[in-house]
């Protein structure tokens, strides 16, 4: 991946073609700058092409590299993480809706005041 840096693998995980998976860090021009990901070192090799790619999460990884499946424990953790995130976002959304409602009322009142003053009532 252009604009990414390579580092030694933090663990000795291997991909489907048997080589040790390498951890890269996305470069500044990438869509996810600074985010780490694992990739097979043979991903560019046409003869040994391996499509293994996974984002590296600080807490856990959802891909079981030995079988290519998803670890059920990691998947459960991921689901719970997203449930918490969704809950927090729903609370933020409700706060924003209330704030928006108050701001609309203040704007309407300011226009009424402006029009009253424009016609010399105030």
Assess contact for 76 and 59: CB atoms under 8 A.
Answer: no
The whole-number pLDDT of residue 64 equals 47
Of 78, 64, 85, which Cα lies nearest the Cα of 16? Answer: 64
The whole-number pLDDT of residue 79 equals 83
How many beta carbons lie within 10 A of that of residue 63, not counting itself?
Answer: 19
The whole-number pLDDT of residue 108 equals 96
C-alpha distances (whole Å) from 49 to each of 16, 56, 57, 63, 89 are 10, 21, 24, 19, 40
- pLDDT per position as a tens digit, 6-55: 554 444 577 777 788 888 888 888 887 888 888 888 877 777 767 788 88
The whole-number pLDDT of residue 38 equals 85
pTM of the complete model beyond 0.85: no
Q: What angle (nearest 5°) sits at the alpha carbon of residue 63, between those of residues 59 and 66? A: 120
Answer whether residue 4 shows pLDDT above 50: yes
Alpha-carbon 76 to chain mean position: 17
Strands ordered across the beta sheet of 22-25? 5-7, 22-25, 36-39, 53-55
The whole-number pLDDT of residue 3 equals 56
The mean of the pLDDT values for the chain is: 78
């Amino acid at each position: 991946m252009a604009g990414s840096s390579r580092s030694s693998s933090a663990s000795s995980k291997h991909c489907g073609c048997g080589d040790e998976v390498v951890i890269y860090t996305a470069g500044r021009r990438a869509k996810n700058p600074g985010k780490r990901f694992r990739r097979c070192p043979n991903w560019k090799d046409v003869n040994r092409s391996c499509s293994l790619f996974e984002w590296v999460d600080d807490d856990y990884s959802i891909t079981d590299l030995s079988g290519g499946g998803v670890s059920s424990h990691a998947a459960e953790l991921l689901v719970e993480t997203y449930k918490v995130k969704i809950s927090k976002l729903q609370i933020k959304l409700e706060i924003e809706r209330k704030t928006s409602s108050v701001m609309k009322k203040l704007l309407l009142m300011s226009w009424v005041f402006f029009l009253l003053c424009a016609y010399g009532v105030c």
